[in-house]
């Protein structure tokens, strides 16, 4: 049922705590703001979540700290250095590790 003056559905249900927690996690992952009005209604929050799950995430292309440490350990064993360009690309670091692993 919709009221005539406010155009707000009166039969809307509040969002669940699990929904809100998941939406906040998605907002952090996708680096977007979770609107307050979306958090008030279960259906609108569900639509927002669907949109964020299907959106493309901006990935950090740098190697992870564990990946860099592993490469440095291999480099010390092999007595060589990890090329600088490998520290700027996760894919290049992965290829260097594959080519130089024991």
Residue 7 φ/ψ region, left for φ over 0, alpha for ψ in the -120 to 50 degree band, beta for the rest: left
Q: Give the HSE-up count for residue 1: Cα atoms under 13 Å, Cβ half-sphere.
A: 3
Model confidence pTM above 0.75: no
The per-residue pLDDT string of the chain (102 residues; one tens digit each, 9 = 90 and over) reads 455 445 555 578 999 999 999 999 999 888 889 999 999 999 999 999 999 888 876 667 889 999 999 999 999 999 999 999 999 999 999 999 999 986
Distances (CA, A) of 10 to 5, 40, 43, 44, 100: 12, 12, 13, 14, 64
């Amino acid at each position: 049922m919709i009221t005539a003056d406010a155009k707000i559905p009166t039969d809307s249900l509040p969002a669940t705590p699990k929904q809100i927690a998941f939406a906040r996690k998605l907002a952090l992952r996708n680096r977007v703001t979770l609107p307050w009005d979306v958090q008030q209604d279960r259906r609108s929050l569900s639509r927002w979540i669907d949109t964020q799950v299907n959106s493309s995430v901006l990935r950090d292309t740098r190697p992870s700290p564990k990946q860099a440490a592993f490469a440095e350990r291999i480099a010390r064993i092999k007595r060589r250095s990890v090329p600088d360009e490998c520290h700027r690309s996760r894919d290049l670091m992965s290829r260097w590790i594959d080519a130089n692993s024991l």
